[in-house]
């Protein structure tokens, strides 16, 4: 039996069909309705809430997560809802445009891509010159044919072109032979696969010019907000692992279609795709098993710089095109970190530098030309808005800046009505709360007897929500369906995340035998690092106080690094050297990490205010 589901959102109706007994979240995701589900549909995060007309009785866990008020208004968790009849539903937030950072800090490098194309006219065979077609081609000195499929097509191509051809090479390998002069048509795509977002860049490989940029939310989010949730999903069966792989390949093919359509190019003229991403994302891309990444001693299938034909992965470009994957360092220091180290140039500079990439995970690299230490912190996705009551990603309507100016004020992305609060706004909010004594050094929200010296307009913002203290940012948001607030639980989530980052920095400094005064520059990489207010980050203890004036945002450093790998083959050699140079520190095995972590949970109020 099939049922009709009408999804009403922003004045329009989308209708889906669903089998009786199916899961509503799975139905919505299969219908390309992008409902947030950071916990992977496990009924823990509460982000997949939808309002249902005439809903069935709520389960106990739905009441606990959503609150009785919202349950009475008809809200339910899509992941806990079984389709038993026709339904009309109203999702809170779907298909929002995300604010994805694509620009990175560039540096001067040589333009020398692995791809080269040359127009040649071969001598035609006759009775006096009977070389085989392969020898005739390879005698040009342009390279060798290694692909049997290309060899099968070669006789036809040569004769159809009357031996007037263009040869495309990848390094010393001939990867394509084309009719006529196509030497001016050579393109490549660099891709940074983030856990939450994907950024892609189209390049003309004959000129080195960037032609286009495209960014999109990672469709694998529907399997969970973090890598461990997605690994758990892959462990269910070989089919679920293949599904994860096919999801990212489908998005890559979508990106190819966008680029070719917008720029009027043929996908057969795309000869290389270069990729960076964390180690798990790279495993999903290559369809490698990930189960050992999630358990000690955390061993990936591979961390090598990898080259494979695009067609073997199902990417629809030139048949001979290559996929180049930058190397990883360990299970939790991936190709994205190697790419960020490359583009920051810290591996070439004298002195000591600190690179921090705060995303769904937190990667930290300390060092310079002589040495590099790195660690990954289990910071959790709090700074991405996950596990936060009103948290959201960097999308239209997200509160991205909170400040005090004769009252609490905020801005939203796109100047839209507020729907929630993203990472930068969360950090700002806690910094404001600290400054005005709404929370103490332990992170506890002030009680009634502790608010005497607070202005009335701030005192009234401290209320009880869901059985706990909370600080209201927006009293009534029609877009979010109610109050937008930072709860006591949210503050603990941020304390855990910032303590993990801060403790990781201290461990690396201790391993290197340096003090914070020895660090010349701090580079903040990634989307969160690009939008965070440095003073707020310092004031909550995320960044050491001593480094306040030495901190610089370098945008999507991973994206910039993978662009370098696409446009300069020499950078691939640099990437392998960086991989070898980085000494990975496993924080769970470091005896000092726990003490640093506990100390970093506190807010050092007296130092900052």
Distances (CA, A) of 90 to 33, 87, 218, 417: 12, 10, 23, 17
**pLDDT recorded at residue 428:** 94
Give 398's contacts (C-beta < 8 A, 6+ positions apart): 99, 385, 392, 412, 413, 418, 419, 420, 421, 422, 425
**pLDDT recorded at residue 95:** 46
Would you say residue 608 has pLDDT above 60? no
Q: Give, rounded to a whole angstrom, the gap between the first and last alpha carbons of the chain.
A: 64
| CA dist., res. 555 & res. 288, Å (int) | 29
pLDDT in tens, 478-535: 555 578 999 999 999 899 888 999 999 999 999 999 999 999 999 998 766 667 888 9
Higher-confidence position of 76 and 144: 144
Contact between 121 and 164 (Cβ < 8 Å): yes
Would you say residue 359 has pLDDT above 60? yes
Residue 5 structure tokens: 């589901």
Helix axes 335-344, 557-567, angle to 10 degrees: 80
**pLDDT recorded at residue 506:** 95
Q: How many CB atoms lie within 10 A of CB 414?
A: 14
Contact between 410 and 477 (Cβ < 8 Å): no
Distances (CA, A) of 333 to 94, 147, 304: 32, 33, 12
**pLDDT recorded at residue 84:** 87
Would you say residue 561 has pLDDT above 50? yes
CA 83, distance to chain mean position in Å, is 32
- Sheet of 49-52, strands arranged across: 12-19, 2-9, 87-91, 49-52, 75-77
**pLDDT recorded at residue 59:** 78
Distances (CA, A) of 308 to 134, 147, 152, 219, 397: 23, 12, 20, 23, 41
Of the given ranges (66-70, 228-232, 430-434, 542-546), which has the lowest mean pLDDT? Answer: 66-70
Tokens 């892609």 belong to: 200
| CA dist., res. 391 & res. 439, Å (int) | 19
Residue 460 structure tokens: 């009234």
Burial of 481 (0-12, 13-18, 19+ CB in 10 A): middle
Dihedral angle sign, alpha carbons of residues 120, 126, 129, 134: positive
> pTM above the 0.85 mark?
no
| CA dist., res. 279 & res. 331, Å (int) | 6
Would you say residue 381 has pLDDT above 90? no
**pLDDT recorded at residue 609:** 41
The predicted model gives 312-340 an average pLDDT of 97
**pLDDT recorded at residue 532:** 83
Would you say residue 476 has pLDDT above 90? no
The predicted model gives 134-160 an average pLDDT of 96
**pLDDT recorded at residue 362:** 85
Percent of the chain with pLDDT over 90: 57
Q: Do β-strands 87-91 and 49-52 pair in parallel, antiparallel, or remain unpaired? A: antiparallel
List the one residue out of 545, 541, 547, 528 whose CA is nearest residue 434: 541
The predicted model gives 40-55 an average pLDDT of 77
User: Any alpha helices (H) in 213-355, and if so which ranges?
Assistant: 227-234, 238-263, 279-286, 310-313, 335-344
Would you say residue 222 has pLDDT above 90? no
User: E strand or H helix at 607, and its extent?
Assistant: helix 605-608
List the one residue out of 341, 330, 322, 187 whose CA is nearest residue 262: 187
Q: How confident is the model at residue 280 (pLDDT cuts 50, 70, 90)?
A: very high
Would you say residue 318 has pLDDT above 90? yes
**pLDDT recorded at residue 225:** 75
Q: How confident is the model at residue 607 (pLDDT cuts 50, 70, 90)?
A: very low
- For the chain, the average pLDDT equals 88
List the one residue out of 406, 34, 49, 9 whose CA is nearest residue 196: 34
The predicted model gives 302-329 an average pLDDT of 97
**pLDDT recorded at residue 202:** 97
**pLDDT recorded at residue 94:** 56
The predicted model gives 547-556 an average pLDDT of 88
Higher-confidence position of 197 and 584: 584
Percent of the chain with pLDDT over 70: 92
């Amino acid at each position: 039996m099939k049922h009709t589901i009408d999804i009403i959102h922003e004045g329009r109706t989308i209708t889906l069909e669903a089998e009786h007994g199916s899961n509503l979240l799975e139905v919505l995701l299969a219908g390309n309705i992008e409902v947030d589900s950071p916990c992977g549909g496990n009924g823990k995060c509460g982000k997949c809430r939808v309002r249902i007309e005439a809903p069935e009785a709520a389960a106990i866990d739905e009441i606990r997560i959503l609150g009785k008020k919202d349950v009475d208004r008809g809200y339910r968790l899509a992941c806990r809802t079984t389709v038993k009849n026709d339904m009309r539903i109203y999702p809170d937030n779907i298909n929002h445009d995300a604010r994805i950072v694509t620009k990175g800090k560039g540096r001067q490098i040589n333009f020398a891509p692995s791809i080269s194309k040359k127009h040649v006219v071969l001598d035609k065979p006759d009775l006096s010159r009977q070389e085989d077609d392969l020898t005739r081609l390879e005698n040009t000195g342009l390279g060798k044919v290694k692909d049997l499929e290309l060899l099968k097509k070669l006789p036809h191509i040569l004769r159809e072109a009357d031996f007037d051809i263009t040869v495309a090479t990848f390094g010393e390998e001939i990867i394509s032979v084309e009719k006529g002069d196509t030497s001016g048509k050579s393109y490549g795509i660099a891709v940074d696969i983030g856990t939450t977002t994907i950024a892609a860049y189209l390049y003309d490989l004959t000129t080195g010019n960037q032609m286009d940029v495209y960014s999109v939310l990672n469709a694998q989010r529907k399997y969970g907000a973090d890598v461990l949730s997605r690994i758990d999903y892959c462990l269910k069966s070989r089919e679920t692992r293949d599904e994860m792989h096919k999801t990212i390949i489908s998005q890559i093919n979508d990106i190819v279609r966008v680029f070719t359509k917008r720029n009027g190019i043929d996908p057969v003229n795309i000869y290389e795709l270069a990729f960076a991403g964390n180690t798990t994302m790279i495993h999903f891309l290559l369809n490698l098993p990930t189960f050992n990444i999630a358990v000690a001693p955390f061993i990936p299938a591979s961390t090598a710089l990898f080259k494979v034909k695009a067609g073997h992965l199902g990417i629809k470009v030139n048949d001979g095109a290559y996929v180049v994957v930058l190397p990883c360092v360990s299970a939790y220091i991936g190709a994205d970190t190697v790419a960020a180290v490359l583009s920051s140039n810290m591996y070439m500079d004298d002195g000591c530098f600190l690179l921090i990439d705060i995303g769904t995970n937190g990667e930290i690299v300390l060092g310079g030309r002589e040495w590099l230490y790195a660690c990954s912190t289990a910071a959790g996705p709090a700074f991405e808005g996950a596990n936060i009551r009103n948290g959201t990603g960097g999308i239209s309507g997200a509160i991205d800046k909170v400040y005090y100016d004769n009252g609490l004020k905020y801005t939203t992305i796109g100047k839209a009505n507020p729907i929630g609060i993203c990472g930068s706004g969360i950090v700002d909010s806690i910094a404001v709360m600290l400054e005005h004594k709404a929370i103490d050094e332990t992170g506890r929200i002030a009680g009634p007897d502790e608010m005497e010296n607070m202005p009335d307009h701030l005192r009234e913002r401290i209320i009880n929500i869901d059985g706990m203290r909370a600080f209201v940012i927006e009293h009534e948001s029609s877009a979010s369906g109610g109050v937008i607030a930072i709860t006591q639980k949210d503050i603990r989530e941020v304390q855990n995340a910032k303590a993990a980052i801060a403790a990781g920095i201290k461990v690396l400094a201790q391993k290197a035998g340096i003090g914070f005064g020895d660090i010349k520059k701090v580079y903040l990489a990634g989307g969160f690092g690009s939008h965070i207010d440095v003073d707020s980050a310092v004031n909550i203890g995320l960044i050491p106080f001593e480094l306040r004036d030495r901190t610089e945002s370098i945008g999507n450093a991973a994206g910039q690094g993978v662009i370098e790998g696409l446009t300069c083959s020499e950078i691939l050699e640099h990437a392998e050297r960086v991989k070898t140079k980085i000494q990975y520190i496993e924080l769970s095995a470091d005896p000092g990490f726990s003490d640093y972590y506990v100390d970093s949970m506190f807010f050092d109020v007296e130092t900052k205010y």
